[in-house]
Structure 1
Amino acid sequence: MSSVPASLPVVLGDWFSFRSLGNGLTLITEPHVVPLLRCNIWHIRGRDIDLVVDTGLGVSSLYQASRHLFGQRVAALATHVHLDHVGGHHEFADCWCHRLEAPGLRGADPAFTLGDIDLRALDFAAPGYETGGPALTALPAPDYDLSTWDIQQATVTRELEDGDVIDLGNRHFEVLHLPGHSPGSIGLWEAKTGTLFSGDAVYDGPLLDALPHSDRAAYARTMERLLSLPVHVVHAGHDPSFGRERLRELVRAYLDQTTA
């Protein structure tokens, strides 16, 4: 039985929010998903291929809502395969992720539904996040049934490794393997502009390193690697983007905490 109360309001209008940041970059979010599960979805327009970095919770169709942004071809990349980042991947013909995350994307458990999620009963620590109720603050339609939602299996067409290059024709990103939050977490690094898409390796919010497959020692090594990057801007998996000084503050705070 769903834990979501029947009194949730219904969204009047679009489920997704779109904000153009210039230079072919659009931030897409799901405003009515609670912050813990509200992933930043990044659309990068390329000359030869577009890239969607993460796809959100999948409550509503990301592909249909975003078609006005897409060029002739689009690929969906998963920074990692937690449910709040891969809900819409099954809608895309081209799906990319790190080799260690690929089994999770191919073998998603369709028996698990949003109706099963109650943030009051998490099996992992999420300090700093509100965990007092359901995953949504509104429904996308009056007849929306969360018990019919699931993470659907996707076809992985490219397994990525550290050092691989994502070539969009006019933009090139290096794949950085950034384990710790999950074994196959990755970021995308554009050296030319100093831009990092970091996924959940780092964001300006409470970092989660106590998940069943998290590795704090690996996370510390990832933080050391991020500290060495000549970053101009970080577009993360959650919360607002930030610059190099804030990145250094976040990294040092994490390292101080883990060595205390």
Structure 2
Amino acid sequence: MWLGLVWGFLLFSPDAPEGKTVNTPCENPPSAAPPPRSPRCPATAPLPPRPGHPPGVLPAPRTTWGLRLYFPRRRLGRVPAASGDAPPRSQATPPSPPPQGARPPAAAPRPPLPQWAGPGTRRGAEGARPAGAAGMSALEWFAHKPLGGGIFWIQERFYESGNRANIWLVRGSQRDVVIDAGLGLRSLPDYLRASGLLAPQEGAAPRPLLAVATHVHFDHSGGLQHFEEVAVHSAEAAALLRGDNYEAVTWLSDREVARPPRPGWRARHFRVPPVRPSRLLQEGDVISLGDRQLTVMHMPGHSRGSICLHDKDRKILFSGDVVYDGSMIDWLPYSRVSDYVASCQRLMELVDRGLVEKVLPGHFNIFGAERLYRLASNYISQAGVCHKVSTCAMRSIASIALRITNSRVTS
């Protein structure tokens, strides 16, 4: 009886209810009183607000069902093409009809675009084309926001899911690095070139581009196929090389992709293809970009090859799925609670030593050192015997579901 209830809970999870306020990764979290800080945790200045992105109320979402591999299935919405949010459906009032014989009112001018750059600002730009027989272009699929200091935040606009990963471009004087690559339904290098993000300085040669996967889960590694240079931790290199979609936990539904990348595309055909990594990463390796260095930190727990990249000089941590501002997932194939506890202890040490001020995670919003400390310490405090038992049961069910799903895709 209990197994049936657990199975039903995992397989069937509705979206967020109508009127629920949620924050997309390009919005500011709602204001709240700061959490109590541990005496060991140094105070950090809050991140400045991002203008043009107030939190909004989502309209009634479509009900979708599926295995909750990462996060509750809530409609995050596309990267906005205009500032502000539409009123919820329950509050919208229908316009009154114009008097007989009167001209219809002219359409209101479109609000200015916010900081996110996408096809709305680049219609007619080189490389852009309308979606037709060949599908949409990379310029339509992606959008980006500059964060300053040579860092750009990139997202897949039409992948409307809590699994939508953050993609980070870090530009250096001698090399550029892309941290995680998304699903790969459109070419990320094509987007970077067409949008001018890889343009060298006047008179300088183009810089090499390296794609680094923080781990090989499908929402982070699907786009590695489009890069010539790929780096991944050695613990997951074999899975990437053979295109192991079981270890990649590939689970994608048509309803999560609001606009298919090409006619006839179906989520059931999606697979992470085999990719031969050109560089195997280990704990302590340094990726040199010329004027900045990224240090590899092996942080298993979420997956066996999960890594963080630490910019020590700027005190920035690219955390992948090791930590983000949400529930940490430790019940997937090759997840391990004891490894996760050790990784969280390392995260707390980074804060104690004042080595991190800003975290750029694999999902959701950017946050600071105080929030990092609290997320890591909360996980450790909850990782008791009951948590380990429930995690083991959930991992078994998730493993069976992934085996069945990926065997259907293969056949």
TM range (shorter): 0.7 to 0.9
For residues 309 and 360 of structure 2, the distance between their equivalents in structure 1, rounded to whole angstroms, comes to: 10
Aligned-pair identity in percent equals 38
1:44 aligns with 2:165: no
| Residues 105-145 of structure 1: CA deviation (Å, up to 9, x unaligned) | 1111589xxx9734xxxxxxxxxxxxxx8332332344444
Amino acid at match of 2:275: A
- Decide which moves more: 199-208 or 69-78: 69-78
8 Å contact from structure 2 (residues 150, 171) kept in 1: yes
Q: Is the 8 A contact 1:110 1:153 kept in 2?
A: no
Match of 1:69 in 2: 197
C-alpha contact (below 8 Å) 1:26/1:43 kept by paired residues: yes
Compare relative contact order (CA 8 Å, sep 6+) and give the higher one, 1 or 2: 1
Q: CA deviation at 1:45?
A: 0.5
Residue in structure 2 matched with residue 17 of structure 1 by the alignment: 143
1:134–1:105 distance in 2 versus 1, CA, 3 Å: same
Q: 2:379 aligns with which of 240, 254, 257?
A: 254
Match of 1:197 in 2: 318
Summarize deviations over 1:87-110 as a string: whole Å, max 9, x none.
111111110010001111111158
Q: What is the deviation of 1:155?
A: 2.0
Read off the aligned partner of 1:228 and give its amino acid letter.
Answer: E
Q: Which residue of 1 aligns with 2:344?
A: 223
2:160 to 12, 25, 34: 34
The two structures, once aligned, show a CA RMSD in angstroms of: 2.5
Report the Cα offset of residue 37 of structure 1: 2.0
Shift of 1:249: 1.3
Structure 1 distance, partners of 2:244, 2:381, is 37
Q: Which runs of 5+ in 1 are unaligned?
A: 5-9, 119-132
Distance 1:178 1:257 in 2: 19
Are 1:161 and 2:282 counterparts?
yes
Q: Distance in 2 between matches of 1:171 and 1:146?
A: 39
Contact 1:37–1:57 (8 Å) recurs in 2: no
Q: Any runs of at least 4 consecutive aligned residues in structure 1 with deviations exceeding 3 A, and if so which?
A: 10-13, 115-118, 141-149
Q: Which amino acid aligns with 1:14?
A: E
CA gap of 1:94–1:142, structure 2 versus 1, over 3 A, is same
Deviation at 1:72, TM superposition (A): 2.5
Kindly state the Cα deviation for residue 148 of structure 1 after the two structures are TM-superposed.
Answer: 4.8
SS at match of 1:197: strand
- For residue 382 of structure 2, give the secondary structure of its aligned residue in structure 1: helix
Q: Which amino acid aligns with 2:304?
A: P
Cα shift readout 1:61-80 (whole Å, capped 9, x = no counterpart)? 21211122224210000000
Q: Quote the offset at 1:55 in angstroms.
A: 0.1
CA distance in 1, matches of 2:274, 2:367: 33
TM-score (normalizing by structure 1) = 0.84
Which of the two has higher C-alpha Rg?
A: 2
Amino acid at match of 2:186: S
